[in-house]
Structure formats: C-alpha cells, structure tokens
C-alpha cells in the first residue's frame, strides 16, 4: 500500500512533463496571414472569391502563393501578400488581375491573421513571421536544449543531495515556471522561462524514474517504471484536449500548468528512498522510512537496517582490496560511468540505445504526417497509441527479460527500415503501416531503456546514468530533423541511417547483462560483477545486496 501511494503520487506529476514537452505544438501555430493595410476595407477579392472583409476570405484562400486584393474606403487598391504589399497606381477598376504599375511596400503596419482556429498564439502575439520566422522555429530547439541540460544537472544533484529534494524542487518549478510562461511580456522572456521550465521538467522525469524504481520491489518494477511513460503519454493527450477547448495561448498555458497542481500541494509528503539513505550511511533515517512503510503495509516485524548493514560490512570488509575500494561517501560524477572497461562498454551501449531510440522515434513520426485528419485528434491518437506499446514491452520484459526484449525490437526496427525501401511509392497505405510498425518497434525499445539503465547501474550513480542517457536522447531528438533533411539527397537516407543505428545498437546490446529478477546494486564493484558469472543468477543470494523492505529477490520468487 505504501509503495502504491508513493508510485501513483510520483507518476501523476509525470503527466506535466508530457504536457510541457508538447505544449508548443498548438502554442506556436502559425495561422494564415497577410500584411496589414493602412485604412478601412470596403471590399476584398481573392483568386476565386470575394467578400466585404478579409475574414470572409480566409476559408477560401487555398494557396498562400496567391495574393489578396483589397479596396479601401478612400479608394486605394492594395495587393496583399504574406511578407509584402503593393499599391496599384490606377484604382479605377477593381479586378484581381492587374498589369499596370505598382508600388511595393514592406509590412510596416503589421500583419492580419486568421483567427478562425486560434484566437491567439505566440506567433500572432509577437509577429513571428517572415523575417522573424526563425525565432518561432527556435522555440522547440531551445526547449529541448533545456531538457538536455536539466537531465544531466538534476540527475547529478539527485545522486549528491537525494531524490526527495529534487522531486520537491522540480515539481514546484514546473508549476511556477509553467504559470510564468503565460505572463511573459516578450519573445525573449518567453524563451528564457520556457528554457527553465524545460530544465525542471526534464529533471523531474529523470529523477522520478529512479525514485519509483528504488521504492518498488523487483516483482513489480517492470510495470511500475514502464507506466511512467504511460502517464507521460496521457499528458500528450491532455495537450490535445486542452488545445481543442482553449484557443488563446496564454489561457491554454495556464490550464496546462494547473493540471497537476494537486501533486505540488502534497509532494512534500514523499519520503527519501532507503537506497539513497543507505548509500550515504544515514542508517537511522533509512530505518525511519522502513518503519513507516511497515506501518502502512501492516507488517508487524519490519527488517532492521543494522542487521543488514552488519552483513554488508562483513562481506565488504573481506572483499576490499586497495584501490578497488569505492567509498559510498565519495562524490561521484559522470567519469564514474567509465571507471573500468566493463562499465565503460556498458555506458557506450546504453547511450547508443538512447540516441537511436530518440532518433528513430522522431524520424518515424515525421514520416507519418500524411495520415491527415484533425490535428487535435491526431495528437490525441499519437499519445494513445503509446499505451499498448508499453503493455507489450512490459510483458516481454517480464517473460523474456530486458535484454532479450530490447534486442529483437531494435533489430526488427532495422529490418523494417530496409523493407520500407522496397515498397513501391504508390503503395501509400502499406508505407504508412510499415512506418507505424517501425515506430512501434523503436518505441518499445525506447521505453524499456529507462528501466534497463536504472537496473544496470548502482545506487550511487543511478540518477546520473539515467540523466546522461536522457541527455543522449535529447541529442537524438535534435539530430532527427537534420536527418530528415537528407531526404533531398536520397529519399531513403533517413531510414537508412536509423536502420544502421538500430542494427548496431541491437548487436552491442547482446553484450549487456540481463537484470530481470536481480536485486539493485549499490556499488560500482557490484555493478561490474553483474552478469559476469553465473553466480549472480544461481540459487545463492548475494549478502551485499541490500533490498528494501517488501522487495523479493529473484531467488525468493523462484
């Protein structure tokens, strides 16, 4: 019961991460627009229609390459384009086609926007069009840069200062910065606040994975960690719903930010994880948490930390040799992920899988834009389609193991990339289905790598490992658009690159140890020994593995 409370309270806030990651989909929409005119309009002509105002023309304006002709009350006739306007020298006859002299002008009076779908977006708010269009395109990359930096910073802080404090700070930060975005006064303050929002959102997501992994026993660890992704997907679905209901960007942002307000009000009740407390030798605090867990779960004889620690100290005292001793009080950094060759090889493989998962996910997503339909429904379905993929991943991880599930899905995504190259271009439905199959395969691999990474590394660097992996994931998401641009070189170049990366990742993953049913490791020495010999999976329970109260080892389950 205690673990269930902690789990659902923590992953509920993961919705806000999905919300803020995708919020710009509707917040930064560029509607139809033309240059504004210096006067009141009496009549408007488009290529194949006419009206008394420009609002009457938007629905009939089929191509942005066509200009709009407006007749002003003062008799002037103007031709309006998106980024320029021209005044006809002869204004006696109002026709669409005109062969006479015209005077060209810039859009010094601003722009007119189509407000039929969106009453206001940040593009219409600050005129991020024409020569300022590049500013709108920087909104998501700068957010992803914040995600990248936040993943590393807060992952490291969580290992140094504890998971609890980072959970508190980042969850409160998401609410505060989320609301602050709605009240920014110009584009640059908007980008800065969104950057900070990205950092805390990424930090929360990274630490939340580690937090729930360390609280949930081995029996439920797979489903618990994987369904953090499910709540992220629900956040994406919330974006679609709120975007459909609210069409003003700052009101839309406020509604998205207050969605998870209940968690912010009660997150201070979440305790620190016993794993981190034990790694910091704070045995009394760890015992207090375990006693609380025992009361919640109605266990009359909770385990005693002092007894577990005495067993651990005896074993480590016999096994330590000189420089191989890694103190639990040592402050760790990213170099510890390369402390020896087995750990370094593991880190390189894990980073490659993170990068490939993100790269493949976004390349397949960009290839599926020809699905068409309502944009709100499309985004809702994109979030909803993730839910069954996590169920499949969980079943495979529990039945086959983490490694044995990851390898087939990586290799199958590489195979699908090759098969798409041989599908005739006029078989549109088959191409779409193949792309979605590839996205499904890479999505399963991308989903389980979070849990697999947390299980491959010890407590002292677990948050750092997940955070650095998330950093590689963000690098992949930044590289993905550039990969898609290579379609101009060869239409299948993006798929070829994803296929090669997925194949390489699948082959290297073979060398990773299996973690299904294994207790979490606490030191780098234990992590190095993980999977090195068959003793790890034999009937003997390793005494140095300190399992939380309520957790069962793989041998006990058997």
Segment 418-446 shows an average pLDDT of: 81
Torsion of CA 50, 54, 128, 102, to 10 degrees: 60
DSSP code of residue 116: S
* Model pLDDT, residue 540: 40
Grouping H, G, I as helix, E, B as strand and the rest as coil, residue 78 is: strand
- Cβ distance 252 to 243 under 8 Å? yes
CA 253 from chain centre, in angstroms, equals 18
pLDDT for 432 beyond 90: no
CA distance 304 to 137: 56
Segment 128-152 shows an average pLDDT of: 82
Instruction: Give 219: exposed, middle or buried? Use CB within 10 Å, 0-12, 13-18, 19+.
Output: middle
CA–CA distance from 310 to each of 121, 304, 307, 332, 525 (Å)? Answer: 61, 10, 5, 24, 18
DSSP code of residue 331: P
CATH of segment(s) 336-532: 1.20.1250.20
- Cβ distance 201 to 224 under 8 Å? no
What value does the mean pLDDT of the chain take?
A: 78
Q: Where are the domains of the chain?
A: 1-31+120-270, 33-116, 274-309, 336-532
CA distance 370 to 355: 25
* Model pLDDT, residue 483: 80
Task: Kindly state the tokens that stand for 224.
Answer: 């618990």
* Model pLDDT, residue 371: 55
Note whether 1-31+120-270 and 336-532 share their fold.
Answer: yes
Q: Break the chain down into helix, strand, coil percent, rounded to 5.
A: 65, 5, 30
* Model pLDDT, residue 56: 67
CA distance 294 to 126: 56
Q: Which residue has the tokens 């991943």?
A: 393
Q: Greater confidence, 195 or 33?
A: 195
pTM of the shown model: 0.75
CA distance 408 to 403: 9
Residues 216-256 have pLDDT tens digits of 877 777 677 777 878 888 888 888 899 889 888 899 999 99
- Cβ distance 31 to 113 under 8 Å? yes
Q: Which fold has domain 1-31+120-270?
A: Growth Hormone; Chain: A; (1.20.1250)
Residues 483-537 have pLDDT tens digits of 876 876 888 888 899 999 999 999 998 888 888 877 777 777 777 777 665 444 4
- Cβ distance 445 to 413 under 8 Å? yes
Confidence of residue 352 (pLDDT cuts 50, 70, 90): very high
DSSP code of residue 399: H
Which of 11-25, 81-95, 132-146 comes out lowest in average pLDDT?
Answer: 81-95
Closest CA to 443 of 473, 478, 483: 473
Segment 128-138 shows an average pLDDT of: 84
Segment 291-317 shows an average pLDDT of: 66
CA distance 228 to 18: 10
């Amino acid at each position: 019961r205690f673990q269930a409370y902690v789990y659902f309270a923590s992953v509920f806030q993961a919705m806000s991460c999905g919300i803020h990651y995708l919020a710009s989909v509707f917040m930064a929409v560029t509607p139809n627009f033309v240059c504004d005119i210096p006067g009141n309009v009496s009549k408007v002509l488009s290529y194949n229609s006419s009206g008394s105002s420009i609002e009457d023309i938007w629905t009939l304006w089929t191509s942005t390459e066509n200009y709009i002709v407006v007749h002003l009350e003062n008799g002037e006739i103007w031709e309006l384009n998106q980024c320029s306007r021209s005044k006809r020298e002869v204004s006696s006859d109002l026709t669409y086609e005109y062969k006479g002299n015209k005077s060209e002008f810039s859009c010094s009076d601003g722009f007119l926007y189509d407000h039929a779908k969106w009453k206001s977006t940040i593009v219409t708010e600050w005129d991020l069009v024409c020569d300022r269009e590049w500013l709108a395109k920087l909104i998501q990359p700068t957010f992803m840069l914040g995600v990248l930096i936040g993943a590393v910073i807060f992952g490291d802080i969580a290992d140094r200062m504890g998971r609890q404090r980072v959970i508190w700070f980042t969850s409160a930060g998401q609410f505060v910065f989320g609301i602050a975005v709605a009240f920014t006064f110009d584009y640059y303050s908007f980008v800065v606040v969104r950057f900070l929002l990205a950092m805390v959102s990424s930090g929360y997501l990274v630490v939340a994975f580690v937090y729930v992994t360390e609280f949930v026993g081995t029996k439920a660890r797979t489903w618990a960690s994987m369904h953090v992704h499910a709540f992220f997907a629900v956040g994406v679905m919330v974006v679609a719903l709120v975007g459909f209901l609210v069409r003003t960007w700052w009101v839309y942002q406020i509604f998205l930010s207050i969605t998870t307000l209940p968690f912010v009000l009660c997150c201070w009740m979440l305790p620190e994880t016993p794993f981190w407390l034990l790694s910091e030798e704070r045995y009394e605090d760890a015992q207090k948490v375990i006693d609380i867990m025992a009361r919640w779960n109605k266990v009359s004889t909770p385990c005693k930390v002092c007894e577990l620690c005495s067993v651990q100290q005896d074993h480590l005292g016999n096994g330590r040799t000189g420089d191989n001793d890694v103190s639990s009080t040592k402050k760790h950094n990213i170099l510890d992920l390369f402390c020896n060759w087995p750990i370094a090889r593991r880190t390189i493989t894990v980073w490659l899988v993170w990068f490939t998962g993100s790269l493949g996910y976004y390349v397949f997503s960009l290839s599926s834009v020809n699905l068409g339909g309502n944009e709100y429904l499309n985004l809702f379905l994109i979030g909803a389609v993730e839910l069954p993929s996590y169920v499949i991943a969980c079943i495979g991880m529990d039945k086959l193991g983490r490694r044995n599930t990851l390898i087939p899905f990586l290799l199958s995504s590489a195979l699908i990339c090759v098969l798409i190259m041989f599908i005739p271009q006029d078989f549109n439905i088959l191409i779409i289905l193949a792309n979605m199959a590839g996205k499904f395969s890479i999505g399963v691999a991308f989903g389980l790598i979070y849990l697999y990474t947390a299980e491959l590394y010890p407590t002292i660097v677990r948050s750092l490992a997940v955070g650095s992996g998330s950093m590689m994931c963000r690098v992949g998401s930044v590289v993905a658009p550039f990969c898609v641009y290579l379609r101009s070189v060869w239409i299948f170049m993006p798929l070829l690159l994803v296929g090669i990366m997925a194949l390489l990742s699948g082959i290297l993953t073979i060398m990773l140890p299996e973690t299904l049913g294994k207790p979490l490791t606490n030191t780098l020495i234990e992590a190095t020994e993980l999977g090195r010999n068959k003793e790890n999976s034999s009937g003997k329970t390793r005494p140095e593995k300190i399992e939380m109260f309520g957790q069962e080892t793989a041998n006990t389950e058997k």
